[in-house]
Structure 1
């Protein structure tokens, strides 16, 4: 018995030796569209996400603020693939409410293809709900209002009262019981594109996020890039609550730097602002195609550095590592940095790395070729024929390890998507994680992919049912 990627178990001994059939359109389509579920704390967002998924994935607790960051899950409804994104609720802080509501909604607007606003129908529309609705009305994205906690016909009038929010018909649902959720999902998938809009947007300047822990030199680097030797073309703002993106010309080419100003944390700010910073970081990464992670080279790597890097890796964006403050790095510190990289960034050997000083301008010009190289890798596609010829040679030299007395075979390989390069291997048995890492290393040795993550998914051939006579 071997586990498949989705956690089910199949009996390999019952498989027949049959020819492989070509993957379906679902296997080779582009990235699925994204649906963001937003709302105040404790209105039932995570419960609704679990109901949409048909399984318990999102953490649910009767305490506001359990979900702190946005988490994405693959979902399927009536044959339509999409990603549902569970978001942290904003904290009901009277001073920071408007700002946090605006930030949460603006991040959803920029990164999702549709938004579900969840409102507690029993409580009714609050000031926070109204603020979110105002922002979402201006977004241009399909917005759906889920009037939650309508457990019976008696609550229908509570849901009807939410027409006042001005974002269309309230869908009376009970996330905990499933009532009305099917009607909501039917409407949502009908409005979704086949492929995520962000994946098909290839025109215009390439989008760059500059992220890192506080005081690492992000503002100094942005100012250096927009200095006398390079010119800011202009600033682009969306609505009044949207972050401002800077268009900066470097080496004759215009780049769009997405705003990350909210990352800076001031002394004495409440925990709600740490959440705000986390939302801004996620938003900047999701809105970008390539991310420059700025690290202070003069001090040891920190847990905050690792956390930011984890966000980038999970997002699948192209990556450039920029070790800043190199003017403060002596010979001993350089030796320590190499040791830290070998020890703590071993899984990021593929990332482009540039040692710079935003203060003095040292090696800042090397960022442009690093960004271009990372994006070229991120966009790379390998033809199915070339990929399968390569797989055949690699497997012949180094077969997959035997599992349960049987040696799995790779029947067919295809690159499902680029941005990031994602490969699907159709196999006769489960491939160990170590062998997948081996294949990734060999892919990089042969095809490059410097500066881009690679994803390898395995589809185990399901056992065939005996034909009825």
Structure 2
């Protein structure tokens, strides 16, 4: 798709020499490969304020918080920094013994976090004290091999700090008073966290390889979490037949086709942002942030059902963010011949503007064709990273414009004087012209550009810089006599 108002590039120009730097190509620097970070898991029963406490430790609002228990369901990772040291904080859903149904899946995620972390922070409601749930969690943690810190949350003043001594009975050491809401005691807790965490994590799988970042997005209940679990070979995300089970983005390192990828499972977007509220609103914000932090997005569409407005809205969101795009049609085991023919018609009608996107038909339930995702991701990312040399680009453009000149505008035909690919990630073409180019002609240029240079799976942006007329003031002067 074209971008007719790319900020910082659309506008005017006076001389090609002004853009010598652009001629060299303004390429985005590759991010440094991430260094392995120790992991702190934050666990506790529902509604003790874990997510509020996590936001306080991070120093920013990341985890979804709402005045009802059970908002957090998956284990969700965030980068944290304190006193110059970086570490990863994993927020988990409420842990309860003998949980059933959806809560049993939530509890299993918390248990997995406890097993894989380098240190565990057990959060207890300081106003309530230790309950049977905390005693059950403490028995599990006392057998673990990693350090355990005990925090009494919701201790907002000194009077409340005197009521937490009973927590010594959990056998996890000295309880630390803290207020996740007001920040009281957070610095002391962070100091203790740094003392407990090792310099390097126990499990540094894939940390030095700099995995490419993949956002897994789509409307609710299309099978995003099921696909992630199929890729990882474990129950990495909570899966339930209730739509909207995932609230926070869930990230996982996945080895696929002998390459490590960082997948992020996101919340399904069921409403427009201007009508969403509460948890859905913050889930939308985090999904948007996950797309912008990713390099490529897999948009999952239910192949057994007609393409919906929600599907198109998610695709538009990815394209506007300038990310490489793979469209995966899930539940292919439920698609018969009639549905397949109907889907092709829907694609030709509704997705004509993203015909450049990579496509793959998969089944998260059976594992059908999930191995094909890696080649399509590589193709999309290769296009996203590519830059066409300026000389080759202008040679192609001169031939094309000679055969198909731009349409006249206001009685004058604009001329394209010069072109360069200003950046990759996403590929962005800047055209220096003597007049504005119509949107239809920009789309024509993009289509021809793709036919010649490829760029399968990546959006291409085209910006126009219209030359300023240096004789305007002279003309005005001559008219005053």
**TM superposition score category, shorter chain reference:** 0.5 to 0.7
Aligned pair 1:425/2:431, yes or no? yes
SS in 2 for 1:258: strand
Deviation at 1:227, TM superposition (A): 2.2
Deviation at 1:215, TM superposition (A): 1.1
SS in 2 for 1:389: helix
| Number of equivalent positions | 305
Q: What is aligned with 1:457?
A: 463
Deviation at 1:130, TM superposition (A): 5.2
Aligned pair 1:29/2:29, yes or no? no
Aligned pair 1:377/2:374, yes or no? no
Q: What is aligned with 1:353?
A: 359
Deviation at 1:128, TM superposition (A): 9.6
Which of the numbers 183, 203, 211 marks the counterpart of 1:205?
211
Deviation at 1:307, TM superposition (A): 1.5
The Cα offsets for residues 66-125 of structure 1, whole Å up to 9 and x where unpaired, read as xxxxxxxxxxxxxxxxxxxxxx999995448997xxx9x97999xxxxxxxxxxxxxxxx
Which of the numbers 324, 331, 337 marks the counterpart of 1:331?
337
Does structure 2 conserve the Cα–Cα contact (< 8 Å) formed by 1:263 and 1:280?
no
Q: What is aligned with 2:401?
A: 395
SS in 1 for 2:17: coil
Deviation at 1:223, TM superposition (A): 1.4
Give the TM-score, by structure 2 length.
Answer: 0.55
CA RMSD in angstroms comes to 4.3
Aligned pair 1:214/2:220, yes or no? yes
Deviation at 1:248, TM superposition (A): 0.9
Q: Using a 3 Å threshold, how does the CA distance of structure 1 residues 324 and 107 change in structure 2: closer, same or farther?
A: farther
In structure 1, how many angstroms separate the alpha carbons of the residues matched to 2:358 and 2:436?
A: 32
In structure 2, how many angstroms separate the alpha carbons of the residues matched to 1:264 and 1:442?
A: 34
Does structure 2 conserve the Cα–Cα contact (< 8 Å) formed by 1:98 and 1:128?
no
Deviation at 1:5, TM superposition (A): 5.7
In structure 2, how many angstroms separate the alpha carbons of the residues matched to 1:370 and 1:92?
A: 36
In structure 2, how many angstroms separate the alpha carbons of the residues matched to 1:384 and 1:439?
A: 16
SS in 2 for 1:21: helix
In structure 1, how many angstroms separate the alpha carbons of the residues matched to 2:366 and 2:67?
A: 43
Q: What is aligned with 2:370?
A: 364
Q: Which has the higher contact order (CA 8 A, sep 6+)?
A: 2
Consecutive unaligned residues in structure 2, runs of 5 or more: 30-60, 82-178, 191-207, 237-246, 271-275
Deviation at 1:314, TM superposition (A): 0.7
Give the TM-score, by structure 1 length.
Answer: 0.57
Deviation at 1:442, TM superposition (A): 0.3
Q: What is aligned with 2:419?
A: 413
SS in 2 for 1:400: coil
Q: Which runs of structure 1 show a deviation greater than 6 angstroms over 4 or more consecutive aligned residues? A: 88-92, 96-99, 105-109
Deviation at 1:206, TM superposition (A): 0.6
Q: Using a 3 Å threshold, how does the CA distance of structure 1 residues 423 and 361 change in structure 2: closer, same or farther?
A: same
Q: What is aligned with 2:350?
A: 344
The Cα offsets for residues 345-373 of structure 1, whole Å up to 9 and x where unpaired, read as 11010000001111122211111110000
Deviation at 1:276, TM superposition (A): 2.2
Q: What is aligned with 2:328?
A: 322
In structure 2, how many angstroms separate the alpha carbons of the residues matched to 1:284 and 1:6?
A: 22
SS in 2 for 1:263: coil
In structure 1, how many angstroms separate the alpha carbons of the residues matched to 2:429 and 2:252?
A: 34
Q: What is aligned with 2:317?
A: 311
SS in 2 for 1:23: helix
Aligned pair 1:258/2:255, yes or no? no
Deviation at 1:29, TM superposition (A): 3.5
SS in 2 for 1:209: strand
In structure 2, how many angstroms separate the alpha carbons of the residues matched to 1:98 and 1:300?
A: 30
Does structure 1 conserve the Cα–Cα contact (< 8 Å) formed by 2:269 and 2:284?
no
Deviation at 1:220, TM superposition (A): 1.4
Alignment of 1:16-415 (within 5 A): 20-23=16-19, 25=21, 28-30=25-27, 94-95=67-68, 204-227=210-233, 244-260=250-266, 262-263=267-268, 271-415=277-421
The Cα offsets for residues 3-31 of structure 1, whole Å up to 9 and x where unpaired, read as x9699xxxx9xx9xx97435154785356
Q: What is aligned with 1:440?
A: 446
In structure 1, how many angstroms separate the alpha carbons of the residues matched to 2:361 and 2:298?
A: 12
Deviation at 1:277, TM superposition (A): 2.2
Deviation at 1:280, TM superposition (A): 2.4
SS in 1 for 2:440: helix
In structure 1, how many angstroms separate the alpha carbons of the residues matched to 2:323 and 2:6?
A: 24
SS in 2 for 1:343: helix
In structure 1, how many angstroms separate the alpha carbons of the residues matched to 2:390 and 2:181?
A: 49
Q: What is aligned with 1:171?
A: none
In structure 2, how many angstroms separate the alpha carbons of the residues matched to 1:24 and 1:447?
A: 24
Q: Using a 3 Å threshold, how does the CA distance of structure 1 residues 425 and 222 change in structure 2: closer, same or farther?
A: same
Larger Rg: 2
Q: Using a 3 Å threshold, how does the CA distance of structure 1 residues 428 and 253 change in structure 2: closer, same or farther?
A: same
In structure 2, how many angstroms separate the alpha carbons of the residues matched to 1:283 and 1:402?
A: 41
In structure 2, how many angstroms separate the alpha carbons of the residues matched to 1:349 and 1:6?
A: 22
In structure 1, how many angstroms separate the alpha carbons of the residues matched to 2:417 and 2:277?
A: 51
